[in-house]
């Protein structure tokens, strides 16, 4: 069954008594009753599948987990209350019986860096930041640090670098250090990290999976060893996605293939336009033939698919000029998210990487004139026209 067909049909339409609903219902019960105490005992002991208590299981959430397990080719999935708790759960699962040392890609989402440095750090977890696009430097760091886990993004936020995940995973497996991949920007339509050797992949379901700006959630998919640990952590701590968000995510995934394909097509045209605009200093886009990771992108991504994120720097601009440009936009939405059907723009220095010190942002190449664009499904001519007008008017 092809990917797009799975998004529509997999795990759906389960029999309920003597009928089959055409879509998975929203189950809100906190606990469940069975006719036989023996059966309830088996379910509590996880010897038989079935819900017993909402922290452990929920039929709506379980359907989402079954679908995501299939789409990401994993042993199992855990649907969480947010993308950040999905990452946190993945880290805990990876480090349960391993050294409390992490190697993290230096190009990473600001909240992930904050989690590692300011929350897990004081608890004794050591983090070393490394440029994972430099395989030699990464391999040397693994030999020196001897990490318990490695963390990276398929497409980095916000400069859109792409590490050689297949080769990175080989190094991780030799070192017995599970590779955790945030696959939010790519989605499983473009890349399935577990198929490339990763141990855990996570998503912010708020983004492309939900796709309509009305969900808060995250999903973790893992191989068997890491899944067992993650499921145990989830059953104990309860960082779970609620049934309403699970339902909305399931509904969103049904159109994931259509939406992401259109968004990718639009992003290619928007990136090309921005590269030709005299008010734009530099464009960051994985489809650029001169992208520093072009060889890796060609090897790992489907032909013609580069993701729908485009970052760019405004020429001779600082914070005030960036704000003026963004305030001129009429169609593009100024909001802190991505992956929605509508095109969205964000200022990383103010939002996604706000927690990083200015000098650290500069060191990472996140300059004060950088903006990040999440391209939507609108008519691309309208997106370009809005950008064109805002870029022109902000310079007057």
pLDDT by residue for the chain (396 residues), tens only, comes to: 999 999 999 999 888 888 999 999 999 999 999 999 999 999 988 899 899 999 999 999 999 999 999 999 999 999 999 999 999 999 999 999 999 999 999 989 989 999 999 999 999 999 999 999 999 999 999 999 999 999 999 999 999 999 999 999 999 999 999 999 999 999 999 999 999 999 999 999 999 999 999 999 999 999 999 999 999 999 999 999 999 999 999 999 999 999 999 999 999 999 999 999 999 999 999 999 999 999 999 999 999 999 999 999 999 999 999 999 999 999 999 998 999 999 999 998 876 666 666 777 777 778 889 999 999 999 999 999 999 999 997 766
353, 110 Cβ separation under 8 angstroms = yes
Domains of the chain, start order? 3-253 (3.40.640.10), 256-393 (3.90.1150.10)
302, 265 Cβ separation under 8 angstroms = no
CA dihedral in degrees (244, 212, 233, 195; nearest 10)? 130
CA of 129: how far to CAs of 105, 258, 357, 360, 396, in Å? 6, 36, 15, 12, 42
Residues marked as catalytic: 55, 109, 182, 207
pTM: 0.95
86, 218 Cβ separation under 8 angstroms = yes
Q: Across-strand partners of 198?
A: none
């Amino acid at each position: 069954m092809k990917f797009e067909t799975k998004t529509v049909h997999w795990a759906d339409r389960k029999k309920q008594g003597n009928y089959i609903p055409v879509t998975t219902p929203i189950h809100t019960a906190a606990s469940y009753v069975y006719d036989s105490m023996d059966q309830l005992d088996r379910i509590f002991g996880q010897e038989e599948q079935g819900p017993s208590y909402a922290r452990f299981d929920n039929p709506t959430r379980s359907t989402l987990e079954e679908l995501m397990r299939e789409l990401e080719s994993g042993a199992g999935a855990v649907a969480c209350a947010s993308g950040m708790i999905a990452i946190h759960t993945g880290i805990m699962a990876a480090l349960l019986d391993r050294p409390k040392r992490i190697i993290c890609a230096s190009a990473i989402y600001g909240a992930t860096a904050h989690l590692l440095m300011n929350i897990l750090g004081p608890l004794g977890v050591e983090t070393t930041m490394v440029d994972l696009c430099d395989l030699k430097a990464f391999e040397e760091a693994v030999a020196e640090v001897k990490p318990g886990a490695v963390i990276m993004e398929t497409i980095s936020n916000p400069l859109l670098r792409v590490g050689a995940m297949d080769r990175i995973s080989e190094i991780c497996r030799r070192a017995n250090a599970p590779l955790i991949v945030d696959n939010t920007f790519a989605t499983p339509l473009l890349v399935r990290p577990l198929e490339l050797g990763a141990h855990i992949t996570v998503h912010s379901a708020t983004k492309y999976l939900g796709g309509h700006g009305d969900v808060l959630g995250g999903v973790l998919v893992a191989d068997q060893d890491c899944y067992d640990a993650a499921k145990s952590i989830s059953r104990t701590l309860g960082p779970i996605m609620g049934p309403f968000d699970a339902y909305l995510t399931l509904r969103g995934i049904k159109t994931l293939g259509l939406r992401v394909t259109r968004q990718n097509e639009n992003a290619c045209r928007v990136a090309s336009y921005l590269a030709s605009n005299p008010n734009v200093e530099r464009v960051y886009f994985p489809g650029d033939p001169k992208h520093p990771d072009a060889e890796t992108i060609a090897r790992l991504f489907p032909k013609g698919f580069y993701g729908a994120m485009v970052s760019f720097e405004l020429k001779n601009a600082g914070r005030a000029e960036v704000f003026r440009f963004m305030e001129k936009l009429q169609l593009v939405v100024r909001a802190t998210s991505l992956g929605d059907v509508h095109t969205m723009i964000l200022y990383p220095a103010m939002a996604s990487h706000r927690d990083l010190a200015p000098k650290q942002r500069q060191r990472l190449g996140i300059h004060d004139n950088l903006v990040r664009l999440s391209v939507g499904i609108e008519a691309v001519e309208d997106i370009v026209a809005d950008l064109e007008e805002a870029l022109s008017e902000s310079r007057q």
